[in-house]
Chains A and B, each alone.
Chain A
C-alpha cells in the first residue's frame, strides 16, 4: 500500500526531526508557553465572545441587557488579556534560547534573557525614539503587535539564532580563558561581551529595517503576505492557493495574515445588498470569494479546521497529552480561537500534522466550490460575528438555509476523516513529555 508506506516515511521523518536540537528546543518552548497561552485564550474566549459588542454569545444571549457593569467587566478582561497577549512572543524567545543553550551546556538563563532582549531590539519602535516628551499622542516604545501571538515565528527564529550564537560565544570565551590563565574573565564578562555583540547586531538590523517598514521585521513579513492574501479575487484556484499558503504560515508560527475579516469587503457588501432586496443569497453577484468559501466552510475552529482535529483526537488518540489539550482547548476552538491548540499539541513545526492542517481546508474549499457552482447551496451573505462557532457560520450567514448547515456538517465530517489517520499515527510517539 502506497499510503501506508507514505505514512511510515512520514513517521520516520518525524522521528528524525524530533532528535534535532532545534526542534527539541522549539517543542520545549511551546510546551512551556502553552499554559500561559491557554489562560490567555480562555480569557479572550470570555472577553471576545461574551463581553465584546461584536461577540457571538454577547449577541445571541443579549448580554448587554442583563449584565450589570458591562464596561467594568470589559476593561478587566481587556487588562488581563493585554498583559499575557502582549508578551507571549518575548516569552517564547526566552524559552527557545534557554532550551537551546541547555543542549550546549551553556549558561541557559543568561542566553535566554539574551534572546528575549535581542527579540525586543528587533521590535523597538524606532520612530518613537526621536520624540521628546511634549505630551499629546506619544508613540509606544515597542511595536506592541509584534510581541503577541503574531510574533511567535520571529521569536522562535531569534531564540534559535541567539541561543546558538550566545552559547557558542560564551564557550569560546571560556576556552580562551583556559588557554590564557592569566587573562581572567569573570562570569559577568562572559555574559556581558556576547550580550553586547548580539545586541549590537540585532539593534543594527532592527534600525536598518525600520527604514523599510514601520512594523519591524515582522511588519515587513506581514505586509508582504497581507498584500498577497487580502485580494485573491473570484477564482477558485487562487482562493485554494492562498488558503493553503496561509495555513502553512500558521504552521510556522506566522499567525494571522488572513482572518475571518471578509465581512466588510466590497464583494461581501454587494452580496449583502443583493440579499437584502431579494430576501436570500441565491443569485448573489459574487458567489465565489475567500469569504464565501474559506470563512464559511474551511475555518471551523480557526485556520486548518482545528475543530475537526479536536474531534479526531477525541475519537482516535490514545495519547493522554493530546486528549488533555483537546479537552482544554475545545471551548476556545468553538469560537475560532485556536492558538493554544497549535502550541499545546504542538501542531506548530509538527511534520505529521502539517499535511491534514493544509489538506482539510483545501478539500473543504473544493467541496464548497462545487456545491456553490452547482447551486446546491446559496453563498453566505449576512455578516456573522468573528466568534461564531464554525459549523454555524454558513447556516447563519445564509439566513438559515438548511442545505448550508448540511454542507457544514459534511465538511466537518470530511475534515475529521482527514485528520484521523494522522492522529492515529501519532499514537505511537513516545509520550515521555506530556504537555499538560
Chain B
C-alpha cells in the first residue's frame, strides 16, 4: 500500500510540474496568436475613383496578371445606396493574394458623396472580413478612391478590431480636391487633417502622382496630391510620395501606366521584381520619411 501511495504522489507532482505551466503557456500562446498571427490570406482591396464601376481596374488586373507568375483571382463587390452588397467573381481556394474591387452604385464626386462612400466601404469591408477570415490586407485607391480609403481608415476602421492594414497606395488622389492652391484648404482636406490622429500607426502609405506637365495630370492638380503630406506625414509609419511622368500620364490612364504597374508590384504586392524590369523604371522618386530598408 505504501508503494501505491508514492505512485499517486509522483503522479500528482508530475501533473503539477507539467500541466500547470503548460496551461499558462497555452493561454499566452493563444493570446499571442490572436494579436500577432497573420493569416496567409492577404487580399489587395482596390477602390476606383468617382464615376467608375467595379470593372475600372480590369485593365490593370490583366496587366498585373500578365506579369506575375501566380495568377490571382478577382472578386468584385458593388455596394448599393441602401448598403446592399452584390458580389461577382470569387476568391479561388488556395489563392492567398486575391484582388477585391469595391465599387459603389452612387459613384459621384463631391465632399458629401465621398463621405457616404466611405460609410458604404465600411459595410462591404466588414462583410468581406466575416466571409473570408483575413486579418490583414493592402489597399489601393485611384483618384477619389484614395480619399474614400483615407476617410474609412480615419473614421470606421477601428470598428473592425483584429484586422490590420499593411500598405495603402493612392494613385493621383486629390487630397485638396480640385484646388491647386498650396495655402487654402478645402473641407475635405480639413476633415482628413482633423482626424489624422486616428490613422493606423503601423501603416505604410505610397502616394503616386502623375504629371503631364509641371502642374497636373490633366484632371488633378499635382499640388492637391502633394497636400497628402499634411494628412499622413508623421501620423503613419512611412509616407512616400512618387511622381511619374512620361507617356500615359493623363489622370485616367494612370492605373494602367507601365511605371505604376511596376510600382504596384514592387511596393503594394511586394513582389521581387526581376532586374531587367526594374531597369525600365524611370520614375522620379522622392522619399519623405521612408524606411531606409525599403528598396
Contacts and interface: CB of A to CB of B under 8 A. Distances in A.
Contacts of B25: 59-60, 396
A277 interface: yes
Contact of A277 (B18, B22, B162): B162
Contact of A273 (B19, B26, B94, B133): B133
A382 B29 contact: yes
Interface string B33-56: 110010111000000000000000
Contact of A400 (B27, B40, B133, B134): B27
B30 interface: yes
Interface string A367-387: 000000000000000100000
Given A276-B135, A277-B162, A400 B21 contact: no
Contacts of A61: 21
A392 B37 contact: no
B70 interface: no
B23 A272 contact: no
A67 interface: no
B29 A277 contact: no
Given A60-B18, A272-B33, 14 more contacts: A59-B25, A60-B22, A61-B21, A266-B94, A269-B40, A273-B41, A273-B133, A273-B135, A274-B133, A276-B34, A276-B37, A279-B34, A382-B33, A396-B26
A163 interface: no
Contacts of A59: 25
A284 B62 CA distance: 34
30 contacts: A59-B25, A60-B21, A60-B25, A61-B21, A266-B94, A269-B40, A272-B33, A272-B37, A273-B40, A273-B133, A273-B135, A274-B133, A276-B39, A276-B162, A277-B133, A277-B135, A277-B162, A382-B26, A382-B30, A382-B33, A392-B19, A392-B22, A395-B26, A396-B22, A396-B25, A396-B26, A399-B30, A400-B23, A400-B26, A400-B30
- Which of B30, B37, B135 has most chain A Cβ within 10 Å? B30
Interface residues of B, number: 22
Contacts of A340: none
Contacts of A400: 23, 26-27, 30
A424 B258 CA distance: 77
Interface residues of A, number: 21
A389 interface: yes
A275 B33 CA distance: 9
A60 B19 CA distance: 10
A274 B40 CA distance: 11
Given A277-B135, A400-B26, A400-B27, A392 B18 contact: yes
A273 B129 CA distance: 12
Which 3 A-B pairs give the minimum distances between C-beta atoms?
A273-B39, A60-B25, A60-B21
The B interface is mostly helix, strand or loop, or mixed, namely: helix
A389 B18 contact: yes
A230 B136 CA distance: 30
Most central of A274, A277, A389, A392 by chain B CB within 10 Å: A277
Q: Binding site of A, secondary structure by majority: helix, strand, loop or mixed? A: helix
Interface string A239-274: 000000000000000000000000000100100111
Contacts of B24: 60
Contacts of B34: 276, 279
Interface in A273-287: 273-277, 279
A266 B133 CA distance: 15
Contacts of A277: 39, 133, 135, 162
A385 to B, nearest CB: 10
Which of the listed residues B24, B34, B133, B135 has the most CB atoms from chain A within 10 Å of its own CB?
A: B133
B159 to A, nearest CB: 15
Contacts of B37: 272-273, 276
A429 B134 CA distance: 60
A160 to B, nearest CB: 41
Contacts of B19: 392
Nearest to A56: B22
Interface string A39-83: 000000000000000001001110000000000000000000000
A56 B23 CA distance: 12
Contacts of B162: 276-277
Interface in A132-151: none
A61 B22 CA distance: 8
B33 A276 contact: yes
A379 to B, nearest CB: 15
Contacts of B33: 272, 275-276, 382
Contacts of A279: 34
Contacts of A269: 40
A5 B135 CA distance: 60
A395 B39 CA distance: 23
Interface string B225-240: 0000000000000000
Contacts of A395: 26
A275 B19 CA distance: 23
Interface string B164-191: 0000000000000000000000000000
A399 B34 CA distance: 11
A368 B23 CA distance: 22
A272 B29 CA distance: 12
B15 to A, nearest CB: 10
A279 to B, nearest CB: 8
A287 to B, nearest CB: 16
Contacts of A399: 26, 30
Interface in B69-98: 94
Nearest to A277: B133
A275 B26 CA distance: 14
Nearest to A405: B19
A399 B26 CA distance: 7
A279 B37 CA distance: 13
A388 B18 CA distance: 10
A382 B24 CA distance: 15
Q: Which residue among A59, A61, A276 has the maximum number of chain B CB atoms within 10 Å of its CB?
A: A276
Interface in B117-146: 133-135
Interface in A399-423: 399-400
| B24, B26, B37, B41 pick with most chain A CB within 10 angstroms | B26
